[in-house]
Amino acid sequence: MPSIDAWLREAKADPAFRRCGMYLVHNGTVRETPKAEVRGVETDGVQPGDKVAGMVFSYDEGKVAAAVEEARGLPGIEYVRVWLNSGNLSVGDDIMLVLIGGDIRPRVIDGLQHLVSTIKNTCVVEQGLSA
């Protein structure tokens, strides 16, 4: 996984840093509790009451690139960087890292929420593995 410290140094060296008043980081990890349980949604993976041992994770690079470009066009968003893992992941492994910077707090929070939701809902495939 990339270093968040290194990413922040690079972001602050980018010319856009003069327009950024805030940076937010999202670090998604594999959790033991199944999505079906914490979100109350049906999945084809691990069922409520069971434990997650891991997941098989993949993504579409083109869709992720499009999501990043869309996020860069959101009002006030000046800097975006994304890393996604892939393959067989265990509980505690990192799934994704997202760094987003922008002018003011509400826009950066909204931008992060929008980007992570887009990635999770349209760019990735997750298959939970029962313990």
Note the pLDDT tens digit of each residue in 10-64.
999 999 999 999 999 999 999 998 877 777 776 667 777 888 899 999 999 999 9
Q: What is the DSSP letter of 33?
A: S
Average pLDDT of the chain is 94
Domain 4-130 sits in which CATH superfamily? Molybdopterin biosynthesis MoaE subunit (3.90.1170.40)
More reliable by pLDDT, 40 or 123: 123
In sequence order, what are the beta bridge partners of 99?
25, 81
Residue 6, CA distances (Å) to 11, 12, 126 in order: 9, 10, 28
**Is the Cβ–Cβ distance between 54 and 93 less than 8 Å?**
yes
- Checking if the pLDDT of 117 tops 90, the result is yes
Whether pLDDT at 113 is above 70: yes
